[in-house]
Amino acid sequence: MKNLLEIRDLKVTFPTDDGLVQAVDGVSIEVAPGETVAIVGESGSGKTVTSLSVLGLHNRKLTQISGSIIVKDKDESLDIVSAPLDKIRGYRGRVVSMIFQDPMSSLHPYYKIGSQLAEAYLVHHPGQKEAANNKALEMLSLVGISEPKVRAKEYPHQFSGGMRQRVMIAMALMNDPAVLIADEPTTALDVTVQAQILQLLKDLQQKLNMGILLITHDLGIVAQVADRVSVMYAGRIVEQGGVDDIFYNPHAPYTLGLLKSVPRIGRAGSERLKAIPGQPPSLINLPTGCAFAPRCEYISLAPGDSCQTLKPDLLGLADSHRSRCHVPEGMRDKSFAAEIKGART
């Protein structure tokens, strides 16, 4: 297997008192060595549920999961969906690691940074305390924290937000993982620190040849760092392709909507940002047809009432570019062309 991570037809459902929440519905994503794959989509589209599945972090008693998540470790591989928990624990943090959405709640306030880092190493290298401490110092300096010996003895509150995020990255890298999942790694940070952290991730990726699965709702970040992109809406991938496919030749109306809602320097003053009208649907009662139909401006271009009655398939356009939309390509191309131009300039 050339890929480090292969998610195939992943479905994640949470039974709740109100009914079944279909949070992820048939997601397939691959990540190869040295590659950054972004998952982008509005709040609630299923990005975090997907990434937690890769680490096997859902409670199996309270969650229905199907499909497969194959993670490669040197000569063997593991299907996280069906593997026993003790096997998964051996992979978590070592083969696949994750930077969580909120660094403050992921670091323990009472323990020194150095010992928290060392602990992450000791989980997979029991008893090797000296090696763990050395690795902690090495990783702190790798992520650009000066005087690592001094800083290792400090507590999380003594670090700034940007520094804490660097510590989280250091912690995720303690066991040299093949795949790093970064869930909104920079949302809590100001833009200059954000840029530094993204650059740091890129540098580390080159050095370590890691695959990165980057979760974000920020298209600016996607444009900056991603090689390939999956756009998610209401638990499904609505478009998937190379970063240029998504930015220069978007096919799903939702992708176009996201592009048009990004602020841009140089946009004519009279031109207002165009937010996508309406709200994402409830995941308990998804519409019978396309989940985006109630918010879509292009349904009149599709044949009959297909948008309201039929779920569109994720179909190939060219190479690895695929999208889910009933509007025929030719029709859409004409009306999109002007809009895309507006969205990009």
Site residues for ligand ATP per CB under 6 A:
14, 16, 21, 23, 41, 43-49, 217, 283
If the CB atoms of residues 8 and 217 are measured against ligand ATP, the closer one turns out to be 217
If the CB atoms of residues 184 and 339 are measured against Mg ion, the closer one turns out to be 184
If the CB atoms of residues 49 and 168 are measured against ligand ATP, the closer one turns out to be 49
If the CB atoms of residues 46 and 93 are measured against Mg ion, the closer one turns out to be 46
Element (H, E) at 164: helix 161-172
CA distance 139 to 167: 9
**In the complex, least distance from residue 21 CB atom to ligand ATP, rounded to whole angstroms:** 4
**In the complex, least distance from residue 101 CB atom to Mg ion, rounded to whole angstroms:** 6
Regarding 53 and contact with Mg ion (CB under 5 A), the answer is no
Q: Choose among ligand ATP, Mg ion, none what residue 46 binds, the Cβ cut-off being 5 to 8 Å by kind.
A: ligand ATP
If the CB atoms of residues 226 and 301 are measured against Mg ion, the closer one turns out to be 226
**In the complex, least distance from residue 325 CB atom to ligand ATP, rounded to whole angstroms:** 21
Q: Which of 48, 133, 205, 240 binds Mg ion (CB under 5 A)?
A: 48
**In the complex, least distance from residue 265 CB atom to ligand ATP, rounded to whole angstroms:** 25
**In the complex, least distance from residue 328 CB atom to ligand ATP, rounded to whole angstroms:** 30
